[in-house]
Structure 1
Amino acid sequence: MNIVLLGPPGSGKGTQGQLLAERFDLAQLSTGDLFRQILQDPDHPLYDELQIVKQGKLVSDEVVNAVVEDAIKKLGNAKGIIFDGFPRTVAQAQALDKMLNSMNKRVDVVLDFNVAQDVLLQRLLGRRVCPDCKRVFHIKQRYVECPDCKVQLVTREDDNEEVIMKRFKEYNEKTAGVKEYYLDSDCAYINLTVDDADTTPEEVHQQIISELAKRGLAQ
């Protein structure tokens, strides 16, 4: 099962992707994580082109597609892939279809996270990340270090209000067409609405499983 996660920054795609990957034994492909790995390697051929990520701007389709295609090849014979942060444009969605078609696979499910902007801001400004396992926390949880890795949690460089608002704007402008693209496809398209900041990841996960079960995709 190949799943595409749609939603603005802070909508919970990464957290839900991890939960789904564990539940269904799927590989998780996060373009954000891939970009951050490249940005830590000045010798990488795409290092300079990815500097715009720090400004809250979207990377060109050509570069993103190249990064994702390389990552898919490295995953080998995974049972399925969860795409977190990709595709973000219609051109990327079309490219993904070609990549999967070449392996006789397709996008089976699209999860569209619709989260209120005030909830998103609260989540992102309080988000803390483990630099080792990439697990995401919030300051409300009062963790200073990752309970598993025992290393200090960090704030992502792009988690500041100015960059966040740019990312919201770019997301809304450039990804509207992606939703229409998948709504017109034969995949299972599931809308998830979160307008309460106190909604827990576990509650959202159960909502996802319930919707998948209705479509015969989960038990």
Structure 2
Amino acid sequence: MSVRQSILAVLTLGPAYGLQLHDEVELRTCREGSLNVGQAYSTLGRLKTAGLVACESTTAGGLPLYELTPAGRQEAARWLGTAQQVSGSAWGEMMDHVLLAASLPGHDPLPLIRAYEEAWLDISSHEQNPENVGSSEVAGTRLARAQAEAERLLAHSALAWLEQFRTDTTGFTVAMQSERPRRGRRPLQLLKEH
């Protein structure tokens, strides 16, 4: 999932400093591997250059507070309502996208869930097309069929997960954490429910 889009989405909750944004993305998603703090700060720099975030104020401790510009707010809203391309390799990204959207207080994740359901329905409805290639069937054709079947089965799983998630989206929202780490140490992380 895009670090850029994740940071913009979290900033819809209000101004935040860099490490706080890093921790919020980590808390709200099931990313494979952790997000590098340096990557979060370099992304913030690019977002500022692109005019999507501004840094108009600071915390009491002097940390810069990043906030969305009108263009950044528009970009975040667009991403939070649009399903990304789906395939087997995009399963984790889709899951993080939905979880992040569901965790934002005041944001309705149902349009995004429906958009993903439509995308996965298209894949799950494709029937295997057994081609008559005879006894000299090439391995490439068999591999392509196996890959298509794997995608179809994954689509069924994605649809089941999305349906279960859609039936009860309550209790997933998380307010922005305000506890600042002392002496460079992070506060205790909340346990994620998976």
**Higher relative contact order, structure no. (Cα contacts within 8 Å, ≥ 6 residues apart):** 1
TM-score range, shorter chain: 0.3 to 0.5
Q: TM-score, normalised by structure 1?
A: 0.32
Structure with greater strand share of residues:
1
Q: TM-score, normalised by structure 2?
A: 0.34
Q: Which of the two has greater helix per residue?
A: 2
Higher CA-based Rg: 2
